[in-house]
């Protein structure tokens, strides 16, 4: 019980910190960086729910992000819907894509799923260029309306979304559902022998993961006020996977910290000019070399163990 209370206290502390940060330092630049970091947090958590728990690594998470963002863009500009329709519509579209891709590929063993996701994202990026008359090509869609006029207000909305998504996925991950997903990671054949419909659980978890990635994509579209094919880029997926590894795979809450940490680190290193990428990469390599289980979640577990059993 005490254990749980420490978790809640930690979560509250984190939320308070994120909420107060822009009030203390102020400035639209910081608010912008924090907003992006929080949206990356949503992407990282949603990736971790499917891929972290089941061990089926998704190298094309950007597909769902892009689909969500473009759905928001089209609805808001071409079809003239109000901005608030974007979130549910983006989630639905991303879920649809997850079913279409998951159904054939998640039945297969081995790297097929990872490859199928990777290539789907690349194909979508190309399609956005090929059908440039509809999609705006390289330029993408411009003139998307903001959801909330105030930058700070939008940041708080994004933060609240992140908290909600994380809480929801954490609850799912700690239920029997999560147990089954972790068992799938352990051994699919044994799961089947235990009467578990492995394909259903894999597809359902991909659909859930896609829904929140799509919602994050819509948020991003309404933050940038434009979308471009770059959203589908493989590098986005790789960045998200890195964030999950740094945060601590399969912990759900860890990737939130990983995402915020890495986005902030990228910004902090801007002063180093050309050295930026070098320092960033070396930091990553060091973290993953010395902490193969990640930084955030294992550290939190250690802190908690200290608090529960003080020496």
Partner 1 sequence: MSALIEVSGLSKHFGGLQAVKDVSFAIEPGEIVGILGPNGAGKTTLYNLLTGFIPYDSGSVVFKGRDLRGLAPYRIAGLGISRTFQLCRPFVGMTVFENVIVGGLGASGGGGSGLDAHAHALLKQVGLAGKEQLAVETLSYGDQRRLEIARALAAKPALLLLDEPFAGLGSGEIADLSALIRRVHADQGLTVMLIEHKLHEFMRLVGRVIALDFGEIIAEGSPEDIVRHPAVIEAYIGRGDAEAEEQTNAA
Q: Judging by beta carbons within 10 Å of its beta carbon (0-12, 13-18, 19+), is residue 148 exposed, middle or buried?
A: middle
Q: In whole angstroms, how close is the CB of 308 to partner 1 at the nearest point?
A: 15
CA distance 232 to 121: 6
Q: 218 near 68, Cβ under 8 Å? A: yes
Among 116, 191, 243, 246, binds partner 1 (CB under 8 A): 191
Task: Please give the angle made by the CA atoms of 205, 216 and 94, to the nearest 5 degrees.
Answer: 50
Residue 185 in contact with partner 1, rule: CB under 8 A? yes
Q: Tell me how far CA of residue 294 lies from CA of 41, 141, 211, in angstroms.
A: 15, 37, 25
Site string for partner 1, 131-170 (x = CB under 8 A): ----------------------------------------
Q: In whole angstroms, how close is the CB of 174 to partner 1 at the nearest point?
A: 11
89 or 249: whose CB is closer to partner 1?
249
Residues 28-47 touching partner 1, rule: CB under 8 A, are: none
Among 108, 179, 282, 286, binds partner 1 (CB under 8 A): 179
Determine the size of the site formed for partner 1 (CB under 8 A). 19
What letter would DSSP give residue 231?
Answer: G
Q: In whole angstroms, how close is the CB of 195 to partner 1 at the nearest point?
A: 3
Q: Which two tokens stand for residue 239?
A: 């960045």
Residue 190 in contact with partner 1, rule: CB under 8 A? yes
Terminal Cα distance for the chain, rounded: 20
- Return phi, psi of residue 142, to 5°: -115, 170
Residue 207 in contact with partner 1, rule: CB under 8 A? no
Q: In whole angstroms, how close is the CB of 262 to partner 1 at the nearest point?
A: 25
Residue 301 in contact with partner 1, rule: CB under 8 A? no
CA distance 64 to 216: 9
User: Which of helix, strand or coil describes residue 226?
Assistant: strand
7 or 187: whose CB is closer to partner 1?
187
CA distance 8 to 1: 11
Rg (CA), the chain: 19
Q: In whole angstroms, how close is the CB of 298 to partner 1 at the nearest point?
A: 14
Among 18, 33, 34, 198, binds partner 1 (CB under 8 A): 198
182 or 301: whose CB is closer to partner 1?
182
182 or 304: whose CB is closer to partner 1?
182
Residue ranges binding partner 1 (CB under 8 A): 176-177, 179-180, 182-183, 185-187, 189-198
């Amino acid at each position: 019980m005490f254990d749980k209370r420490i978790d809640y206290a930690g979560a509250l502390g984190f939320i308070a910190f994120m909420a107060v940060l822009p009030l203390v330092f102020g400035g639209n630049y910081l608010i912008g960086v924090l907003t992006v970091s929080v949206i990356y947090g949503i992407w990282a958590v949603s990736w971790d729910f499917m891929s972290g728990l089941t061990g089926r690594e998704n190298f094309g998470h950007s597909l769902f992000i892009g689909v969500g963002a473009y759905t928001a863009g089209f609805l808001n500009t071409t079809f003239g819907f109000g901005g608030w329709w974007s979130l549910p519509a983006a989630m639905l579209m991303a879920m649809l894509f997850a079913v279409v891709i998951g159904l054939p590929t998640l039945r297969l063993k081995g790297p097929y799923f990872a490859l199928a996701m990777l290539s789907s994202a690349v194909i979508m990026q190309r399609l956005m260029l090929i059908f440039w008359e509809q999609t705006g090509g390289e330029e993408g869609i411009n003139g998307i309306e903001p959801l909330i006029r105030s930058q700070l207000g939008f940041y708080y909305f994004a933060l609240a979304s992140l908290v909600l998504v994380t809480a929801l996925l954490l609850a799912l991950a700690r239920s029997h559902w999560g147990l089954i997903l972790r068992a799938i990671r352990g051994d699919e054949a044994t799961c089947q022998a235990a009467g578990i419909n492995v394909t259903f659980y894999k597809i359902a978890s991909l659909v859930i993961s896609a829904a929140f990635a799509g919602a994050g994509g819509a948020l991003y579209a309404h933050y940038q006020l434009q979308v471009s094919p770059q959203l589908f880029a493989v590098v986005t997926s790789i960045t998200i996977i890195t964030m999950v590894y740094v945060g601590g795979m399969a912990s759900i809450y860890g990737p939130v910290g990983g995402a915020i940490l890495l986005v902030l680190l990228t910004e902090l290193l801007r002063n180093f000019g050309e050295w930026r990428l070098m320092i960033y990469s070396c930091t990553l390599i060091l973290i993953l070399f010395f902490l193969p289980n990640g930084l955030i979640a294992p550290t939190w577990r250690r802190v908690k163990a200290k608090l529960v059993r003080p020496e």
